[in-house]
């Protein structure tokens, strides 16, 4: 994929507008997890070191739905970013809900308030993007927000055709690491691990890898839907009845392509997350039991597959990892992936990152940890992402 990349001659002496992804968790008014801020540093530092006249940073935080929500202000992000950069970062607040409240300051680096406070952001209102350009005097736009590149929002695509659009260092890294998985041919030794709850965002990816992967491991509530498709009783476990037929389609495609699909053979169940749990063979799940994690036999089976894989792609937790003891499956899988140093390992999704943090596993243990959840999945489907399309040569 040929894209317009950052280069010194393209930004020297210019006012640069950057769409970053600072959608980070906050706790007690402070940034609780800094991955996305850290991933933005290479682009910001490149701009500083190569003569950018001024840098205007745009981002969203949470889902304020076009209204000012003080708890979703980017002010704490500006403070943390300043620490990480070792450079002053001027925070620019939003004065009101109207388009005309967007104003620039005097700082070399300016982080503007949550763009989703403005109704024009999600609507891709041309007046809003024009106001941003007029107020900042931006001469170049850099998209470095991979996690929002599947959104046709004003701060992502609204500057296309008005000023040059370039890919930031993070976007460049994401494309480089994810593009090989777009292959229509079998990828030797590829194991894809898909967890989480919903089929909706993962159907196309599952169908793609049903044809190109060697193995697909399915966990989380997603596995329950596949188990029902195979005729198993899952008690009162969470599953999607209207997606059972889709699950059957994925299984049939995998069988035709000789791709192994691996589901839990035993599970950890309880009547609710706070009650006593027990392990059951999948055949014995009945009544009011709910599946919250995979069991020891399944963990052993999944470990064996991972240990012999040459390429591993993981998106989504294997169980209800947020609460012990239902975190054992996700932790075992994450540590087995980490142990396979001979494999190329690609991870993605917000819950996946949260699991690594919980288990004290450094992102550096893996080949690439994507900052995108939905964007990563849509990219792997082969969809045209609006925020990537504007960067193509």
The dihedrals phi and psi of 24, each to the nearest 5 degrees, come to -105, 155
Whether 8-171 shares its CATH topology with 183-381 is answered yes
Residue 353 pLDDT > 90: no
Confidence band for 94, pLDDT divided at 50, 70 and 90: confident
- Residue carrying structure tokens 């597959």: 305
Specify whether 350 is catalytic. Answer: yes
Counting beta carbons within 10 angstroms of the beta carbon of residue 7, is it exposed (0 to 12), middle (13 to 18) or buried (19 or more)? exposed
What is the residue extent of each domain of the chain? 8-171, 183-381
pLDDT in tens, 358-376: 999 999 999 999 988 889 9
Q: Which residue out of 235, 295, 350, 373 is catalytically annotated?
A: 350
Specify whether 36 is catalytic. Answer: yes
Q: Which residue out of 14, 36, 116, 122 is catalytically annotated?
A: 36
Residue 39 pLDDT > 80: yes
pLDDT in tens, 220-271: 999 999 999 999 999 999 999 999 999 999 999 999 999 999 999 999 999 9
Topology, domain 183-381: Rossmann fold (3.40.50)
CATH H superfamily, domain 8-171: Phosphoglycerate kinase, N-terminal domain (3.40.50.1260)
Alpha carbons 98 and 16: distance in angstroms, whole number: 23
Between 101 and 341, the more confident residue is 341
Structure tokens at 51: 């003569």
Identify whether the C-beta of residue 67 lies closer than 8 Å to the C-beta of residue 115.
Answer: no
pLDDT value of position 269:
97
Residue 150 pLDDT > 90: yes
Q: Which residue out of 5, 75, 108, 198 is catalytically annotated?
A: 198
Specify whether 51 is catalytic. Answer: no
379-383 — which CB contacts under 8 Å span 24+ positions?
379/149, 379/150, 379/174, 379/178, 380/178, 380/181, 380/182, 380/205, 380/208, 381/204, 381/205, 381/208, 382/182, 382/208, 383/150, 383/204
């Amino acid at each position: 994929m040929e894209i317009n990349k950052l280069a010194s001659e393209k930004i020297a002496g210019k006012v640069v507008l950057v769409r970053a992804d600072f959608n980070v968790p906050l706790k007690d008014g402070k940034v609780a997890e800094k991955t996305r801020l850290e991933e933005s540093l290479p682009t910001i530092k490149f701009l500083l070191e190569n003569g950018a006249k001024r840098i205007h940073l745009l981002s969203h935080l949470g889902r304020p739905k076009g209204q000012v929500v003080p708890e979703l202000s980017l002010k704490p992000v500006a403070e943390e970013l300043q620490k990480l950069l070792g450079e002053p970062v001027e925070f620019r607040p939003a004065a009101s809900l109207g388009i005309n409240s967007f104003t620039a300051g005097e700082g070399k680096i300016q982080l503007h308030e949550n763009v989703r406070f403005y109704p024009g952001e999600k609507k891709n209102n041309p007046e809003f993007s024009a106001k941003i350009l007029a107020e900042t005097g931006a001469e170049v736009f850099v998209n470095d927000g991979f996690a929002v590149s599947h959104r046709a929002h004003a701060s992502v695509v609204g500057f296309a055709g008005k000023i040059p659009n370039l890919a930031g260092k993070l976007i460049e890294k994401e494309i480089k690491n994810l593009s090989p998985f777009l292959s229509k041919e079998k990828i030797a030794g590829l194991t894809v691990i898909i967890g989480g709850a919903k089929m909706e965002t993962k159907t196309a990816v599952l169908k793609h890898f049903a044809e190109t992967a060697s193995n697909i491991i399915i966990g989380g509530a997603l596995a329950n839907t596949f188990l029902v498709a195979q005729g198993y009783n899952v008690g009162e476990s969470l599953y999607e009845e209207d997606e059972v037929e889709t699950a059957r389609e994925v299984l049939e495609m995998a069988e035709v392509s000789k791709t192994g699909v691996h589901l839990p053979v035993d599970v950890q169940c309880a009547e609710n997350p706070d009650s006593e749990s027990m392990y059951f063979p999948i055949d014995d799940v009945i009544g009011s039991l709910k599946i919250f994690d995979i069991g020891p036999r399944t963990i052993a089976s999944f470990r064996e597959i991972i240990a012999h894989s040459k390429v591993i792609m993981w998106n989504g937790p294997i169980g209800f990892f947020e609460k012990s003891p239902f975190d054992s499956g996700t932790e075992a899988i994450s540590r087995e992936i980490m142990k396979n140093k001979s494999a190329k390992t690609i991870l993605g999704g917000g819950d996946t990152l949260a699991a690594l943090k919980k288990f004290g596993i450094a992102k550096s243990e893996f080949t690439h940890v994507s900052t995108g959840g939905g964007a990563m999945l849509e990219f792997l489907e082969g969809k045209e992402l609006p925020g990537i399309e504007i960067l193509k040569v």
